[in-house]
Amino acid sequence: MSKDLRNPLARARGLGSAKEGVGHWMTQRITALALVFLTLWFVITVLTLMHADYATARATIAKPWNAVLLIALVITMFKHAVLGLQVVIEDYVHTRWLEMTSLVLIKFIAVLAALMGVLAVLRIALGS
């Protein structure tokens, strides 16, 4: 008799009790890798724009590659942040209702902030 209490199909799928397998872990790493490049590019871009006037800053962000990289940064950054904050909350918030409320709240805030950031970049890029 098998020592594993899971049925063979569940073991083959490898999705575990949370039904997402290593999805969280893997997404955290892939977004981290992307952010290594995106954030360094962002910091360098901000440094070059430090003394620029409004029109120059806006024109720089409006360039297609800069706009695309910024949108990628905003989305990746908030995805990575939610995954990280989720783990911190699960580890340290031991009151169940507070834990659940915090987990939902960070997702709401992250989605709204990401959408706001993407809209801002699009407005700049499309010039409205």
Partner 1 sequence: MAQTGRPLSPHLQVYKWQVQMASSILHRATGIILAVGSLLIVWGLAALAAGQDAFATFTACAASPFGTIVMIGWTLAFFYHLCNGIRHLVQDTGKGYAIESFVRSSWMAIIVSIVLTVVVWAYVLTGSHA
List the structure tokens of 70. 């910024």
Left, alpha or beta for 63 (phi > 0: left; psi -120 to 50: alpha)? beta
8 Å CB contact between 28 and 84: yes
> Does 103 sit near partner 1 (CB under 8 A)?
no
Q: What is the rounded distance in angstroms from the CA atom of residue 127 to the CA atom of residue 123?
A: 6
The residue (of 15 and 22) whose beta carbon lies closer to partner 1 is 22
Residues in 24-83 at the binding interface with partner 1, rule: CB under 8 A: 29, 32-33, 35-36, 39-40, 43, 47, 50-51, 54, 57-58, 61, 70, 74, 77-78, 81
Nearest one of 50, 73, 51 to 120, comparing CA atoms: 73
**Identity of the residue numbered 63:** K
Q: Which of 15, 68, 88, 111 binds partner 1 (CB under 8 A)?
A: 88
Q: How far is the CB of 8 from partner 1 (least distance, A)?
A: 29
The residue (of 10 and 117) whose beta carbon lies closer to partner 1 is 117
Q: What is the dihedral of CA 88, 85, 41, 47, to 10 degrees?
A: -90
Binding footprint of partner 1 on the chain (CB under 8 A): 29, 32-33, 35-36, 39-40, 43, 47, 50-51, 54, 57-58, 61, 70, 74, 77-78, 81, 84-85, 88, 94, 106, 109, 113-114, 116-117, 119-121, 123-124
